[in-house]
Amino acid sequence: MSSHMFELSVTINGKDYCDMIPSDLMLVDYLRSYKYLTGTKKACNSGECGACTVIINGRAVYSCIMLAVQAHGCRIETIEGLSDGEELHPIQQAYISAGAIQCGYCTPGFIMSTKAFLDNEREIDEASIKEALSGNICRCTGYQQIIDAVVLASENMEEEK
Amino acid sequence: MKVMVPKNLEEALDILVADPNVKIVAGGTDILPRINQGFESYQTLCYTNDFPEMNSITTMSDERVFVGASIKLATITNKSCLASYEALVDASAKVATPQIRNQGTIVGNLLQENRCKFFNNQVPWSDINRCFKWGGDRCFQYLKSKECVALFQSDLAPALIAHNAMLIICSKRGKRTVPLQNIYLRGGKKAIQHDEIVLGVLLPPLKGIERSTYVRITERPSFDFPLISCAIRMRQIEDKITDCSIVFGSAGSMPAIFVDAQDTFIGRRIHELQELSEIVKPKISRLIAPFKDTRNNASTRRNMANLAFDDALEKIVNRFLENR
């Protein structure tokens, strides 16, 4: 039975970690303050904006309304795990090519939602893209460029297969 | 705040018995935002998500289907053994956003707190500590009300009540099984004791030709709480409706069962339903509480209930016609 501290074991971007953490620590705070993975953004803190989106066991989740203990034993993917050194992931490249980034604060969350969507879905059309990204908010782009980026990323990833 | 992480169900029940102030957290998508926003605070949470007793979907020998309390909403939409419970699948697919559906659990959705603009949209200078939800003595919706009238917001509850679902609840005293609708009490309260944990939902087997649907009206098609919702389930045997459940969600502080329509539809044929609906529709307004929120007023809410009922009825009639 735990007390105030919890021994957390997780796999982040392919690497295993074990840390003693306060049991009430939110996952976003664990990622940012313990692992210095500050690409995951903390904004609304109530599961409404999607800036904190990460992928756990293949599914997109809000890390600001998830306790770190809930991720115990899980495989976590963050925005830092996408690029291969200097080489961007096709989704990241598509967001740049389609002009889907302005201030960029929401972008890591959008990209992680996009990755979870493209990894899991076979039928990709505008309606399914809108539904997949409905948990993320962008106040700059007006969304059309983001939808274009997902289509472009999907085509690029298909070509790479 | 500390979060207890019990290793098994027995240990979780011990934690609840030992401290009457412990609050259960599973998916966390209902309670954690309120904690983060400072609307609620707890000394201790008990995390109950990883127990095998609560983590499976099983078709039993008598064809009832058990859905564990920890099953995620996103999982429900993908399970073939649940596909015939159409209203449940419809409702699960409509909850909030993909992220919430990946985190939130079936029972978490059923037991979520009711919402109200005076509580959930409060600002630091508001007089909210007088509200019932804060342990105060009044409801800002109706100052004469003796109880909280915050709006019931679960999408799954109307669908599961329409399917006559039961909850399996356990405590140190043993297990009990109760009809889902009996859990909901006035004032947003739930008939579940502090030392009890809901193990899961039990769905009765489908008989004859049984179709169902769930429709909700929201300001946006996703990422929104329902303004009003309607679930309908009907069983057809030899061309006649032999069983019918119609449940409105977000009608008030608890789900509302449309008994008048159920009684009218039973014994009738599918092609008669839309004409009969015109007879029963004037009775819908009695079920809809004149709740005020930032989105619409009482008369709009009643009109929307009519629209949701029409839409749900049209969908279920079409589903029956697909069978022919």
CA neighbor of B311 nearest in space, from B256, B251, B235, B231? B231
The DSSP secondary-structure symbol of A149 reads H
- Residue A107 at interface with chain B, using a CB cutoff of 8 Å: no
Lowest mean pLDDT among A1-10, A136-145, B152-161: A1-10
SS3 at position A94? helix
How confident is the model over A109-161, as pLDDT tens digits?
Answer: 999 999 999 999 878 999 999 999 999 999 998 899 999 999 999 999 888 77
Domain limits, chain A: 5-81, 90-160
Name the E strands within B145-206.
Answer: 166-171, 174-179, 197-203
Task: Confirm whether A5-81 and A90-160 share one CATH topology.
Answer: no
Q: Check whether A1 has a pLDDT greater than 60.
A: no
The partner residue sitting opposite A4, judged by closest CB among B2, B25, B96, is B2
CA neighbor of B288 nearest in space, from B280, B299, B278? B299
Alpha-carbon distance B32 to B30, whole Å? 6
Nearest CA distance, A86 vs chain B (angstrom): 29
Name all domains of chain B by residue range, CATH numbers in brackets: 51-203 (3.30.465.10), 209-322 (3.30.390.50)
Tokens of B61: 């020998």
Average pLDDT over residues B61-75: 97
pLDDT of residue B167: 98
Q: Check whether B3 has a pLDDT greater than 80.
A: yes
Q: Please, what's the b/e burial string for B166-195 (b: 16 or more CB within 10 A of its CB; e: otherwise)?
A: bbbbbbeeeeeeeebbebbeebbeeebeeb
Q: Check whether B271 has a pLDDT greater than 90.
A: yes
Q: Which of A9, A21, A65, A114 to mutate to test the interface with B (most CBs of B within 10 A)?
A: A65
Average pLDDT over residues A43-71: 97
How confident is the model over B184-195, as pLDDT tens digits?
Answer: 999 999 999 999
Nearest CA distance, B98 vs chain A (angstrom): 6
CA neighbor of A47 nearest in space, from B101, B23, B91? B101
Average pLDDT over residues B16-32: 96
Tokens of B301: 């809410």
User: Do B77 and B89 form a contact (C-beta atoms < 8 A)?
Assistant: yes
User: Could you say which architecture CATH assigns to the domain A90-160?
Assistant: Orthogonal Bundle (1.10)
Q: Check whether B83 has a pLDDT greater than 70.
A: yes
pTM higher than 0.90: yes
SS3 at position B203? strand
pLDDT of residue B291: 77
Q: Check whether B114 has a pLDDT greater than 90.
A: yes
Residue with the bigger pLDDT between B37 and B124: it is B37
Q: Which of A4, A46, A56, A150 to mutate to test the interface with B (most CBs of B within 10 A)?
A: A46
B23 - beta bridge partners?
B45
pLDDT of residue B297: 80
CA angle B179, B183, B185 (to 5 degrees): 135
Alpha-carbon distance A35 to B169, whole Å? 39
Share of chain B above pLDDT 90, in %: 79
Per 3-state DSSP, chain B is made up of helix, strand and coil in percentages (nearest 5) of 35, 25, 40
Q: Where does the pLDDT of residue A4 fall: very low under 50, low under 70, confident under 90, or very high at 90 and above? A: confident
CB atoms within 10 A of CB B238: 7
Which chain B positions have a beta carbon within 8 Å of A24's beta carbon? 1-3, 45
pLDDT of residue A79: 98
How confident is the model over B286-316, as pLDDT tens digits?
Answer: 999 877 776 778 788 889 999 999 999 999 9
Judged on CB neighbours under 10 Å (0-12, 13-18, 19+), B69 is buried
For this complex, say whether ipTM is above 0.85: yes
SS3 at position B175? strand
Judged on CB neighbours under 10 Å (0-12, 13-18, 19+), A144 is exposed
SS3 at position A124? coil
| Domain A5-81 grouped into CATH 3.40.50.2000 | no
Sheet holding B166-171, edge to edge: B57-59, B65-68, B197-203, B166-171, B174-179
SS3 at position A76? strand
Q: Check whether A2 has a pLDDT greater than 50.
A: no
CA neighbor of A54 nearest in space, from A7, A92, A2, A13? A13
Nearest CA distance, B63 vs chain A (angstrom): 31
Which chain A positions have a beta carbon within 8 Å of B98's beta carbon? 60, 113, 116-117, 131-132, 134-135
How confident is the model over B144-156, as pLDDT tens digits?
Answer: 889 999 999 999 9
